[in-house]
A and B are shown apart, each in its own frame.
Chain A
Amino acid sequence: MTRIAAYGTILLGCLYFIMPMIGMAEFSLSMRRGVYSLDAYRVVLADPQFQATFTYSLVMALFTIIFGVLLVVPTAYWVQLKMPKLRPVVEFVTLLPLVIPAIVVVFGYIRLYNTSGWLPMTGSVMGTNILLMFGYATLALPYMYRAVDTGLRTIDVATLTEAAQSLGAGWLRIMATLILPNVLGAVLSGAFLTLAIVIGEFTMAALLDRPAFGPYMQILGANKAYEPAALAVIAFAITWACMGLIQMVSRLSKHKRA
């Protein structure tokens, strides 16, 4: 009885989740009247705008990940090793992007770093790109920091550091050859999550006027019928791939430790 009720609940819930998936898949295949075809995908993939914006967002994601790793790994390591008392404070700061809506943060950027400010980042294309990358880094900060911090807790940072130092290693060497490889699984999890967040991000890119994939999708959605559904399928596949990779990485790194 309980079992049947349980399966019933799950089935009903799954129905809600499956319908939009079927809806968007069906819609994306119906560009040609009467038969299913991949026309919508063909049109989207051949669109130079698609290629340009998708590449732009991919490159932005890559830089965000590199920047995020360079910022988070040394910080989390340092807090763990030297200032464990500060951990709650640092953790609180890293969680702030979940509290402050992204639209408010980017609003602040536009007013604080415009051409009349003391740091006119929005004055040049490069400056705006960097500003957007910093914005993405704040969005990813809660996930990246938590992943790396959890990873660091599983190793004995103090002993490893002492051992490395007594063998004559400097800080750079400790970070690159000791800490980073040990938390690689956590770093990769954070990286794929960052990719999933950045690739379709809309608000920051649109308000900073950068040609990213999110605003492109929104504009296409306002003007076309079938292409947006194809884009939704592609975006869903990317999210799915990122999550799959995270699972794979965590399974692999668990295996190695055991």
Chain B
Amino acid sequence: MAQQSAIVAQAQRWVGLVPFIAFTGLFLIAPTLFIVIGAFRTPQGGFTFQNILDLNTPTILSAYWVSIKVSFLSALLGCLIGFAMAAAMTLGGISNRVKSPLMTFSGVASNFAGVPLAFAFIATIGPAGLITMYLRTEFGINLRMYGWNLLSTWGLIITYLFFQIPLMILIITPALEGLKKEWREAADILGATRLQYWRMVALPILFPSILGTMALLFANAFGAVATAIALTGPSLNIAPILLYAQIRGDVLGNPNLGYALAFGMIIITGAANTIYIVLRLRAERWLK
């Protein structure tokens, strides 16, 4: 009797989680697993590695490679610029009247991705954009002659920075604010120069946060579909656009190859996020 009621009590505790388990199971985990399993199946349903091996074509490899390049460079630049701005804000004696609107703006800009963001950049540095036209009419500088093209890898990177930099600012500012005044004072008393303080105290403490955020920014850029499609149309060969075209019209001519392509994307963003989580746990040791 007592044992039975214990089982009932145990079951009752799980009841409250049923909706959550059902929803995430059906609409988050099952679809992803379906793709992952599909990547290792033949059209007849048998197990195979052939789909993964078939990814080894020039088109697909270059799509992944360009994606990785764009994501990495936009994450690196986003990190550096975002860190510089966050450091200027927290340590440079900037008044709160400037700081708090900047933080609000960061919240807005980090969410302003997708189609409208592409439009804003086309209107600014696209072929007929504000800066392009201004340089041409006022200074006779034709950006196109210098090899500038918004619909390119670098165009994509510059556009992505619009949400990468603010995200870095939002994540790294609390870490910078967590640098204790005592550490600085202790370093001063021991006769450290500013450079030494940064090189031997501040940066080692911040390093996991910076690197972790960079991994997050990488994943953030890697999965971005809408901005890229609105900016370049189907012309630029990057992994998310290739997958988009594959879902729409099976451009690779092999549905299981599509699963393998998606599986590759999960692996890459998954690895980046794992790095982020591991480094964040390390960062939290010092920054409480």
> Contacting chain B: which of A90-98, A148-156, A161-169?
A90-98
CB distance from A7 to the nearest CB of B (A): 7
Contact B226 A101 (CB under 8 A): no
Closest to B30 in A: A112
List the B side residues contacting A242 at CB < 8 Å.
Answer: 111
The answer to whether A71 and B27 have CB atoms under 8 Å apart is no
Interface string of A218-250 (1 = CB under 8 A from B): 100110010011011001100110111011000
A24-B120, A111-B34, A207-B247 given as contacts; is B20 within 8 A of A71 (CB)?
Answer: yes
| Residue numbers in B under 8 Å from A78 (CB-CB) | 16-17
**Of the residues A23, A90, A97, contact of B120 by C-beta under 8 Å:** A23
Cross-chain contact of B27 among A9, A135, A200, A221 (Cβ < 8 A): A135
Docked pose: A28 CA to B119 CA in angstroms: 10
Select B17's contact among A75, A100, A137, beta carbons within 8 Å. A75
Q: Choose the segment among B52-60, B101-109, B173-181, B184-192 that binds chain A (4+ C-beta atoms closer than 8 Å).
A: B101-109
In the bound complex, CA of A244 to CA of B107 (Å) = 10
Bound Cα distance from A156 to B33, whole angstroms:
38
Q: What is the interface size of chain B, counting residues whose CB is below 8 A from a CB of the partner?
A: 75
**Which of A14-22, A31-39, A58-66, A177-185 lies at the interface?**
A14-22
User: Is A157 on the interface with B (CB-CB < 8 A)?
Assistant: no
B259-288: CB near A (< 8 Å → 1, else 0) gives 000100110011001000000000000000
CB neighbours of B87 from chain A (8 A):
9
Beta-carbon contact of B85 and A13 below 8 Å? yes
Q: A9-B88, A78-B16, A207-B244 are in contact. Are A217 and B265 (CB under 8 A)?
A: no
| A74-B16, A99-B273, A239-B111 known; A202 vs B104 contact (CB < 8 Å) | no
A166 to chain B, nearest CB (A): 19
In the complex, per-residue mask of B106-141: 1 if CB is within 8 Å of any chain A CB, else 0: 011101101111111111110011110000000000
Contact of A23 among B104, B129, B262 (CB under 8 A): B129
Residues of B within 8 A of A104 (CB): 31-32, 35, 243, 262, 265-266
Number of A-B contacts (CB under 8 A): 248
- Smallest beta-carbon distance B236→chain A, Å: 14
Could you tell me the distance in whole angstroms from the C-beta of A43 to the nearest C-beta in chain B?
15
How many residues of A are in contact with the other chain, CB < 8 A? Answer: 81
What separation, in Å, do the CA atoms of A118 and B138 have in the docked complex? Answer: 64
Question: Are B240 and A201 in contact (CB-based, < 8 A)?
Answer: no
Within the assembled complex, what's the spacing in Å between the Cα atoms of A197 and B243? 22
Nearest CB in chain A to that of B13: its residue: A82
Cβ of A17: which chain B residues have Cβ within 8 Å of it?
105, 109, 162, 165
Would A7 and B92 be within 8 Å (CB), given that A100-B266, A231-B119 are in contact? Answer: yes
Assess whether A232 is in contact with B247, with CB atoms less than 8 Å apart.
no
Quick one: which of A71, A110, A141, A218 contacts B230, CB cutoff 8 A? A218
Other-chain contact of B247, A22, A107, A196, A218 (Cβ < 8 Å)? A107
A213 to B: closest C-beta gap in Å:
9
- In the complex, chain B residues whose CB is within 8 Å of the CB of A240: 108
Would you call A23 and B131 a contact (CB within 8 A)?
yes
A134 to B23, CA, bound (A): 8
Bound form: Cα–Cα A137–B17 in Å = 17
Q: Is the beta-carbon distance between B120 and A71 smaller than 8 angstroms?
A: no
Q: Which residue of A lies closest to B85 (CB)?
A: A13
CB closest chain-A residue, reference B222: A101
Known A23-B129, A103-B244, A202-B230; contact A214-B114, beta-carbon cutoff 8 A? yes
Q: Which of B5-34 contact A (CB under 8 A)?
A: 13, 16-17, 19-20, 23-24, 27-34
Residues of A contacting B94 in the complex (Cβ-Cβ under 8 angstroms):
3, 6-7, 10
Interface residues of B in 65-100 (CB under 8 A from A): 81, 84-85, 87-89, 91-94, 98
Residue of B nearest to A143 (CB): B111
Q: Which residue of A16, A110, A134, A218 contacts B115 across the interface (Cβ within 8 Å)?
A: A218
Q: Which residue of A lies closest to B25 (CB)?
A: A93
Task: Pick from A74, A218, A239: contact of B229, CB below 8 A.
Answer: A218
Chain A residue with Cβ nearest B258: A107
Q: Which residues of A contact B120 (CB under 8 A)?
A: 20-21, 23-24, 229, 232, 236
What are some 17 contacts across the A-B interface (CB < 8 A)?
Answer: A10-B98, A27-B123, A74-B19, A86-B17, A90-B17, A99-B266, A99-B270, A100-B28, A101-B265, A102-B225, A103-B265, A105-B28, A109-B31, A202-B114, A202-B115, A203-B244, A232-B116
Q: When A and B form their complex, which 4 residue pairs have the shortest distance between CB atoms, in order from nearest? A: A6-B92, A108-B31, A23-B124, A78-B16
